[in-house]
Amino acid sequence: MRRLLIAGNWKMNCGPYDAAELLEGLIEKKSEIDENVDVLVCPPFVSIGMAVKYLYDTDIQVGAQNLHFEENGAYTGEISGSMLAESGCNYVIVGHSERRQYFGETDKTVNKRVHKALEHKLAPIVCVGESLEQRKSDKHFGLVKNQITAALHEVSEKDILDVVIAYEPIWAIGTGETASPEQAQEMHEHIRSVLTELYDEDSAEQINILYGGSMKPGNANELLGQKDVDGGLIGGASLDAESFSEIITIAEDLA
């Protein structure tokens, strides 16, 4: 019942011209692939307009990498949810570990951003995940539970169905290391049980839980083949049209 979602997080890469080139390649390759998988690209803010323009007659969706939790006003350098919605975004990444690590994002601000995203009909992709140290000291399950509980504070039973969770072990992001399929499945199952506790089993079964952390064509099949892995949030490999579309094809074959 859950459709796989393959989402590209371009991070701070691809201004409008590079975005156009990457999207041209992706559109060409994607046109040969069936449509049983949802596909999303999340370019940097300045390339969102270009992405929306290029993708308007395709089924590839556009998302942002962050949003501010206020509506508008004196927040120099920030972008609001209404601006993203107006620009054509359907999704927004919230609480990526790089934002938590380098930009002071906390569970509390993640929660505020989740609410703001939902208010503007942007599906928040809420990122959670542990450091290597936390995993080694066996704190990963508790930590992820706390991150999810805090991020979803006061999210209604209706709105939760629009939320996507991305499990991204920090030690696997951009490092070439991936969680093993077993480690991914184990954590995704845990996340679904946390969602069942917070909401109910029926809702938890409908929520997409993505895996992120050095997913590439060589490991996508095993990771995406896990029962509770409902797609991927893909950094590095989404910057190459060939690799990204290979992952989409792998997902299609599993769908």
Comparing CB distances to ligand PEP, the nearer of 66 and 199 is 66
Comparing CB distances to ligand PEP, the nearer of 77 and 176 is 176
The answer to whether residue 212 forms part of the interface with ligand PEP (CB under 6 A) is yes
* CB contact at 8 A, 63 and 11: no
Backbone phi, psi, residue 212, to 5°? -135, 140
The answer to whether residue 214 forms part of the interface with ligand PEP (CB under 6 A) is yes
Q: How far apart are CA 213 and CA 216, in angstroms?
A: 9
The answer to whether residue 14 forms part of the interface with ligand PEP (CB under 6 A) is no
The answer to whether residue 213 forms part of the interface with ligand PEP (CB under 6 A) is yes
How many residues at the interface with ligand PEP, by CB under 6 A? 14
70: annotated active-site residue? no
Q: What residues from 146 to 175 belong to the interface with ligand PEP (CB under 6 A)? A: 168, 173-174
* CB contact at 8 A, 23 and 55: yes
The answer to whether residue 236 forms part of the interface with ligand PEP (CB under 6 A) is yes
* CB contact at 8 A, 54 and 84: no
- For 18, 56, 89, 90, the CA distances from 86, given in Å and listed in that order, are 23, 14, 7, 10
Indicate the residue type of 89.
C
Angle between helical axes of 16-30 and 45-55 (0-180°, round to 10):
40
Comparing CB distances to ligand PEP, the nearer of 194 and 210 is 210
* 8-state DSSP, 133: H
> Which residue among 105, 130, 168, 246 is the active-site one?
168
115: annotated active-site residue? no
The answer to whether residue 215 forms part of the interface with ligand PEP (CB under 6 A) is yes
Comparing CB distances to ligand PEP, the nearer of 81 and 213 is 213
> Where on the chain is the footprint of ligand PEP (CB under 6 A)?
9, 11, 168, 173-174, 212-215, 233-237
